[in-house]
Amino acid sequence: MFGVDVRLHLTFFLLPMFIFWTDYNAHHNANGTRDLALAGIILACVGAHEWGHMLAARRFGLIPKAVILLPLTGVTLYDEPRAEKAQPATLFWKREIRLALVGPLVNLALAGFTIAAITASARGTELWKWPFLQAANLPRSLVWANLYLAILNLIPAYPLDGGRILRAVFSRTLELSAATRRAVSISTAIAMVLIFAGPFSDIWLTMVGVIVFFAAQLEERALVFQSVLDNVRLEEVMLTDFATLSPADTLEDALEKAVHSLQDDFPVVRGSDMVGVISRQRILDTLRAEGNGYVQAVMNKIFEVSVRQESLSSAFRKLTTRNSNIIPVVEDQRLVGIVTLQNLMHSMALLAESRKLQRDEAES
């Protein structure tokens, strides 16, 4: 939507079941369609909330790339999160607090509009009747879903908006990653309290705790990945033992070589010069459609090259803008390694895990 990749977190699929279950326990005559509509209302309110954050973020020069919606909050991934490093710390925390407040304000405004609309239509919707959030009364639920979202998001549990404000305050004296870690550990503690308090008070608290827990995990993982992307150089992950093809190879020879390799993509090399790239799929497709021919005629001659010292994020950008799967790494015009999408995904997960282990060791 509007150039932003919108995804639903798995917990969003638990929500309709959860609503149905609480509805059924309360009345023994749960209405599935209405329960689904209530889940839809909550989704729309969370969407509006996140949309507010993203519009505000755009004004600060951050480009939203993807958003993962959970039933209470969203985790937004921005294209240039590094821009915040370049900014002075004083600006960063002020901006974060402003960005965080936009979401709850959007929900308060929506609740206000809905109350006004309900009052104007004079349909006699009892706004103050318990339970506030109930599938049997959708207009009232729309008001309360917004009010709940505004209030709950101010809980100081990162990555809820209240937690973001807390992190912004920590970041005045701590480095951003340390501030985030402190905010995440407070958040996990709050989530645990909510999860265990739920059965003794209101089961919705358990749901909130579970969502906070998942959201914090998502956010932390995104941060670890970002730091891997920025700090790891291509020479640390590139494949140095790889198969190459020659432009003079026939496609059948090429396929034969491809069978003996784990690679999906191959650099095409003449002497010590890199002249093209070709994928296993391309070889197969051409063989099927046109029969045998030469690699020379089918290979992709336009490709990006990188150097050893480039960061993974720069490699990812090159791969995605060219829509290709392989980047040759060259040194003095000589091919010294290759980085493939497959290989990047693989090493990213491993590196993220090893960073986490190192960090945990350093902390204990």
Residues that bind Zn ion (CB under 5 A): 103, 153, 161
- Phi, psi dihedral angles at 73 (to 5 degrees): -155, 180
- Name the residue among 351, 326, 350, 330 with its Cα closest to residue 263: 326
Close Cβ partners of 62 (under 8 Å, ≥ 6 residues apart)? 78, 79, 80, 81, 83, 84
Whole-number minimum distance, CB 221 to Zn ion, in Å? 19
Q: Which amino acid is present at 163?
A: G
Give whichever of 96 and 161 is closer to Zn ion, judged by the CB atom. 161
- Minimum distance, C-beta of residue 154 to Zn ion, in the bound complex (Å): 9
Residue 153 vs 206, nearer CB to Zn ion? 153
Q: Half-sphere exposure of 41 toward its Cβ, with a 13 Å CA cutoff?
A: 28
> DSSP letters along 3-32, please?
T-EEEE-THHHHHHHHHHHHHHHHHS---H
**How many angstroms separate the CA atoms of 269 and 337, rounded?**
12
Strands (E), 11-87: 64-69, 74-78
State which residue, 127 or 154, has the beta carbon closest to Zn ion: 154
As measured in angstroms, the least distance from the Cβ of 211 to Zn ion is: 12
Query: What residue number has its CB nearest to Zn ion?
Result: 103
Residue nearer to Zn ion on the CB measure, 64 or 103: 103
Q: Minimum distance from CB of 46 to Zn ion (Å)?
A: 9
Of 38, 169, 165, give the one whose Cα is nearest residue 98.
Answer: 165
Q: How near is the Cβ of 38 to Zn ion at its closest, in Å?
A: 20
Which CB, 165 or 245, lies closer to Zn ion?
Answer: 165
**Closest distance of CB 160 from Zn ion, Å:** 7
Closer residue to Zn ion (CB): 94 or 129: 94
d(CA 251, CA 68): 43
Structure tokens at 26: 């309360």
**Residue 74 vs 337, nearer CB to Zn ion:** 74
User: How far apart are CB 73 and Zn ion at their closest, in Å?
Assistant: 5
